[in-house]
A and B are shown apart, each in its own frame.
Chain A
Amino acid sequence: MAIDRSTIESVAHLARLSISEDEVRQTTDKITAIMGLIDEMQAVNTDGVEPLAHPLDATQRLRVDEVTEPNQREQLQAGAPATEDGLFLVPRVIE
């Protein structure tokens, strides 16, 4: 399937990625090529086959409801781009 520029732009928006003008063309070509490879999948007959999300037929283990994580705000925020009063700062959120 040929992927057009507007599809690339809308997917880039969905994934919150800025794509520069220089990149758009190359990105479009590469993703078109990749989708061409992916589309070969359609040749495989999968009628009646259940999707497989995990290679092992294992089930979820459950954790005991006990507090194991003490406050580590200082260490955890050490690498944060912007904090104030223990809060992470971002440009104003408009609801």
Chain B
Amino acid sequence: MEWEAVIGLEVHVQLATKTKIFSGASTAFGAEPNTQACAIDLGLPGTLPVVNEEAINMAIKFGLGVNAEINKVNVFERKNYFYPDLPKGYQTTQLDKPIVGAGTVDIALEDGSVHTVRIHHAHLEEDAGKSLHEDFAGMSGIDLNRAGTPLIEVVTEPDMRNAKQAVAFARKLHSIVTTLGICDGDMSQGSMRFDVNVSVRPKGQEKLGTRTETKNLNSFRFMEAAINKEIQRQIEAIEDGFEIIQETRLYNGDTGEARSMRSKEEANDYRYFPCPDLLPVVIDDSRLDKLRAEMPEMPEVRKARFIEELGLSNYDAEILSGEKATADYFEAAAKTSGDAKLAANWVLGELAKTLNQNDTEIKDSPVSAEMLGGLIARIKDNTISGKIAKQVFDALWKGEGSTADEVIEKKGLKQVTDTGAIEAIVDEVLAANQAQVEQYQAAEEAKRGKMIGFFVGQIMKASKGKANPGMVNQLLKKKLG
């Protein structure tokens, strides 16, 4: 049977405010345990929350960034459960009246099409602290520095069908929140954490299968692996005659192992009710107008600009605008090189391949956008060929020079465009391959195109790739008749 996976995401995005959502304690990462947990964060008796304006503003910006409705009256509720990292015994969150309503995010699929993922809603809530399990003689240590850090939880509709789509969405979301400046996007510090809901169903079936939720994935790679593993697990279980149990699962990125955390039956009864310590948050038009005016260029808008102004294809524009870091890189490279299409090809081709092979993020690329732009400029002005350019790129990657010109100069890779010099090489190669010359001349016109490639290859080899391929072709055609 052919199976189809159905995937929805819940994404926790830590907002880049200076202070907690309900207290004036700092949110800076990496402080000594409990030095940024004030009386309010600790839930000490008699303390009260007051809402951080910037958290509200950032959530609104997110809503504007995903074309969502902003709920002008939104309400904080208490979600009740006991856990040591949850100081008050309830999480202050939003349920019925979240700040951000339904919206959309577009992602590029591998087949070149563009797919829309619907956002169900996004709500504001407070983060929990952390439990540390080492070194306390059988006890756990609780650090509440993170408790009260503002989060938006973005909940999608189940609109993704495979891990690649889920990752594409996650990357796009990353781009949106970093473009907006509402999240530092640092996944290794937990600034974005993904819960993935996965179910499978026979292809063509409308009804959704039973889903599981794998929590707290904090890298794109882990997310992809965890989803693929879970899809596989579910398919195998069903094919072996088992039923899927609705449960929460954990995936260990380091070992690649997944396991059940708790099943829905023993899940908590959260007893949500409106938080009586807080009043409804009312967002007026003047706040909305002000925030709208402050919005940076969003990926969608940038994409449209890439198509209209730079002449990129829909697909290339989607991919290049998807992540802010990539888009910034591309624009800088396009500007330096003076050829946007060539820059797009390089960023999506050689650069993407090399980044991937070396497991490197674009922001950490040893070849900067300016370096790549300089390299492309040399292709454009015929100083080097595309093939030589790859050598120059590799050299730049390895740190063998700080500009393309430096590498070209040092390695003597400058393209030979002198007709006389190229002609000498052509003559040499033709003389050395007389049999092939005769074959060529006896061949029908239709087969000659393919055969000429042999001579081009020999000539490029003899010139160490430096001969201008256009000129080589012209000379060959003339000499071979």
Contact = CB atoms under 8 A, between A and B. Distances in A.
Touching chains A and B, CB distance < 8 Å? yes
Interface of A: 14, 16, 53-54, 58-69, 71-73, 76-77, 82, 84-93, 95
A2 B49 CA distance: 38
Contacts of B282: 59-60
Contact of A86 (B32, B42, B279): B32
A66 B27 CA distance: 11
Given A62-B53, A95-B261, A90 B34 contact: no
Interface residues of B, number: 54
B51 A63 contact: yes
A58 to B, nearest CB: 5
A67 B83 CA distance: 27
Chain A contact surface mostly: loop
Contacts of A71: 31, 35-36
B140 A91 contact: yes
Contacts of B214: none
A63 B140 contact: no
Contact of A62 (B36, B52, B271): B52
B138 A92 contact: yes
Nearest to B32: A86
B84 A88 contact: yes
19 contacts: A14-B269, A16-B82, A53-B274, A60-B51, A60-B278, A65-B17, A65-B52, A66-B18, A71-B35, A73-B32, A84-B136, A85-B141, A86-B35, A87-B34, A87-B143, A88-B142, A92-B133, A93-B140, A95-B250
Contacts, number: 125
A64 B141 contact: no
Contacts of A89: 136, 139-142
Chain B contact surface mostly: loop
A69 B24 CA distance: 5
B93 to A, nearest CB: 15
A69 B39 CA distance: 9
Instruction: Give the one of A53, A60, A77 with max B CB within 10 A.
Output: A60
B310 interface: no
A87 B136 contact: yes
A90 B142 contact: yes
Interface string B9-51: 0000000011100011110000111111111101010000011
Nearest to A51: B274
Contacts of B143: 86-87
A72 B39 contact: yes
A65 B139 contact: no
A59 B281 contact: yes
Given A61-B50, A67-B26, A87-B141, A76 B280 contact: no
A73 B53 contact: no
A72 B132 contact: no
A93 B268 CA distance: 17
